[in-house]
Amino acid sequence: MSAQPKLEPTEEQQAAQLSARTSTQSLMISAYAGCAKTTTLELVSKEIRVPGLALAFNVSIKKELAKRFPGNFSVQTMNGLGFASLMRALPLVKFDEPDGRKLGKLVSQVSKEWKIDLSSDQWDSCRALVNQAMLWGLVPEGAGPPGLVEDTPEMWQECAIELLLKDDDFKLLYEPAREVLRRSILLTQQGKISFDDQVYYPTVIAGRWPQFPVLLVDEAQDLSPLNHAMLRKAMRPDGRLIACGDSRQAIYAFRGADSDSMGKIEGLRRDWQRLPLTLTFRCPKLVVERQQNHAPGFRAAEINLPGQFIKLGYQGASPVEKEEFEAAAWTAKDLFDLAGERSLAVLCRNNGPLLGLAFQLIRQRIAPVMLGRDIGKGLAVLARKLFPTGHETPTEMLAALAAWQESETSALQANGHDEKIDGVSDRAECLRAVIGFAEVRDANALREALASLFSRESGQITLASIHRSKGLEWDAVLHLDPWRIPSKWAREAARRGDARALQQEMNLKYVCETRTRDLLIEANAKEFL
C-alpha cells in the first residue's frame, strides 16, 4: 500500500501553531467532532520548547500521544500523574499493585466488626457510596485535610441520591461508609491502594506534584472537579495551560464530569486566547448541515462524503402508508440492505430499546454486539436484588420490577430529583426487554441471558448507547427512537428556567449523528419486525 500524502495544516491549525509558538497566553481550542484534534495537538506540541506535561484520558491515548509528541513532553494519564505524586509524598512506602477489591474488603470488615447484617445489595451500595464520596473529593473529618466538599451528613446524602439509594439504606450505610473511607485512607498510607486512590489521595489528602511551565489536556469537556484540582496542582503559578475539547460533546455529567468543565478550566488562568477547530474530516456534509443550529460554523472538508439520511418505518412513511402497519415497519433486511458492506451501529439514548432489539435480532439468528459490560453488571446486580431466589417467574419478576420502579420514582420526586427518574426508567425498561425474551423462564435464566449478551466480542451489528459510542465511528449509524431526545425531565427543567439538562440532551444528538462517516438512519424500535 502506498503512503498517504501528508496534508498541509489548515488555517485553523496554523493559527493554533502560531499561538503556541509566539504567545504567552493560555490557549483554549474548541474543536467540533472529527476536526483532527489529536493532529492539531501534535502540531501545537512541536511549537513548545520548554518542558511540558500532556494528560491523556486512558492508556491507549497516552501511547498514541507519546509516539507523536516531542521529547520535551511527559505524557501521562490522570492516574499515572496522581500515582507518581502519591509516591513522592510517601517515599518510604512500598506500594502494592492496585487492588480493585480494596473497598469491598473494607465494607465486609466494617460490617462484620460493627455487627451490621448487610444484604448483598446493601454491601454493594456501601462500596458505591464510598466511591462517590471519593469522586467528589470528600474527606472524613480527622482523616486528613478538608476535602473539596464538606464532610457533612447532607453531602453524604447528596452522594446517596446520586446513586439512587433509598433513605433507609442511606441511614444504615452512612456511618459505615465514612469508616470505610477513613480506613481506606489509612491503608493508602501503608501502600495498599486501588486505582481510584491514585487520583483521590494525592489530590485531596497529600501529594507532591511536579509543576510544569506548560500543561496540555485533551477532552477538556469531560473533566471532573477532582481533575480540575489536579490541573491546579500540576501547573507552575506562572504556567501556561493548553486545553482542547468540544463543549457539545459534554454528555457525562451523570458520571461526575463538570457540565461546564471548559469554563471551569478557563477559571484556572486569567489570560486566554480562544481558537476554533470547525473543519471536520469525518462527518458527511449532510450531518454537518443538520447540526448547524447546535454547532454553528461547523464545516465539512471537501473530501468528505455527501452523506445520506433515511427514515425507516413510520419515521419515513406517508399518511397512506401509516394506515398499513406492515407498510411502515422495518426489518433487519432493510437495515443490512441499506448498509451494504459498510460498518453499522445502532445507537440510542436509552439502553432498554437496545436490549429489546438485541433479543429480537438473536431470535432471527443475527448476532449483535452490545457495548458496555458495566451496564450488564449493573443490571445483574439489580436483578439479584429484585429476584433473590432465582426461581421467580416472568409474571413475578414483572410485578416486582413495577413495584421497584414506582417506589424509586416516588422517592426521587419527593426529594426533588426528577432528573434521576430517567435512569430508573431505563433500567426497568432494560430488564423488561430481557424478561420478554422467549427463553427467559425464570430469574436464573434472566441472569444467564444478560451475561451472554454482554460477553459477545463480535457480531454482525453493534448496539450501543450514545454515551457509550463517544469516541467511536462507523460508516452507517441508525439512531433508534430519536423521539427520546430531549428527555421529559430535561424539557421540564428547561421550562423551570434550567437549560443545562436540555443542553446535554442536544449534545447527545450531536454525538450520535457525528458518529457516522456516511449514512444516517432514523427508526423507532416498536416498528421493527
Give me the tens of pLDDT residue by residue for the chain, a chain 529 residues long.
334 446 789 999 999 999 999 999 999 999 999 999 999 999 999 999 999 999 987 888 899 899 999 999 999 999 999 999 999 999 999 999 999 999 999 999 999 999 999 988 889 899 999 999 999 999 999 999 999 999 999 999 999 987 878 788 899 999 999 999 999 999 999 999 999 999 999 999 999 999 999 999 998 998 988 999 999 999 999 999 999 999 999 877 666 677 789 999 999 999 999 999 999 999 999 999 999 999 999 999 999 999 999 998 866 555 555 555 445 789 999 999 999 999 999 999 999 999 999 888 988 888 888 888 777 888 888 888 899 999 999 999 999 999 999 988 887 777 777 767 888 888 888 898 888 886 789 999 998 888 888 877 777 899 999 999 988 999 999 999 999 999 888 888 888 887 888 888 999 999 999 999 999 999 999 999 8
Distance of alpha carbon 234 from the chain centroid: 25
Residue type, 368: P
Can you give the pLDDT at residue 407?
Answer: 87
DSSP per-residue string spanning 238-264: EEEEEEEE-GGG---GGGT--TTHHHH
Half-sphere exposure of 384 (CA within 13 A, CB side): 14
pLDDT of 5: 47
Buried b (16+ CB within 10 A) or exposed e, 177-208: bbbbbbbbbebbbeebbbebbbbbbbbbbbbe
CB-CB contact of 298 with 317 (8 Å): no
Indicate the pTM of the whole model. 0.83
Contacts of 278 (CB under 8 A, 6+ apart): 12, 32, 35, 297, 298, 299
Question: 461: part of which helix (H) or strand (E)?
Answer: strand 461-465
DSSP reduced 3-state for 347: strand
